[in-house]
Amino acid sequence: MSQLRGFAWRDEGGVAHVYERHLLDAPGNLLNVRIPVFTFPHTVGEFMYFFRPCIHSVILGHGCGEGIFMGFQLPELRQGALPYGQTFRDEIARKILLAALRVNGRFYVFIAFEGPQPELRSQYPFINWFAESLEVSEPSPMRVQRPKARA
């Protein structure tokens, strides 16, 4: 990590959590959003499909069960089992994500933020959230989309 200025890592119960130091506790970091209730679905693919919209819905003042879910699941992520029904109450999103990584251990998540002071209502980190199985022969390409200039 010494080559990456401003970054750090820590072992979170067997999960290598790599992060930019100043973003860890930033109020605009979507992983600091407190989720009222979230329950693990059957697979990692379902988790990734429901978890991002859950965070977004909570930011907008709704619960996790509300809103429209769009997207797709990578076939490799569908294979990864989670402890179905395990429920988290009043927990920050980072703890829920780390719990999923800890119990499955066969996928990774990369989230790009738009800058040193992210905004909670920004779409940027939701658009630039990548999850991939560690059991693929060829990883999917990651194309970080730049934020649009504000008028």
- Name the residue among 69, 18, 73 with its Cα closest to residue 48: 73
Radius of gyration of the chain (CA): 15
Q: Is pTM, for the whole model, over 0.85?
A: no
Cα separation, 53 vs 61, whole angstroms: 12
**pLDDT tens digits for the chain (151 residues)?**
678 888 899 999 999 898 999 999 998 999 999 999 999 998 888 888 889 889 988 998 888 865 555 555 556 666 778 899 999 999 999 999 999 999 988 888 888 888 888 888 888 777 778 877 777 666 665 555 665 655 5
Instruction: DSSP for 2-47, please give it.
Output: TTSTTEEEEESSS-EEEEEGGGTT-TT-GGGPEEEEEE--SBHHHH
* Ranges of each domain in the chain: 7-133
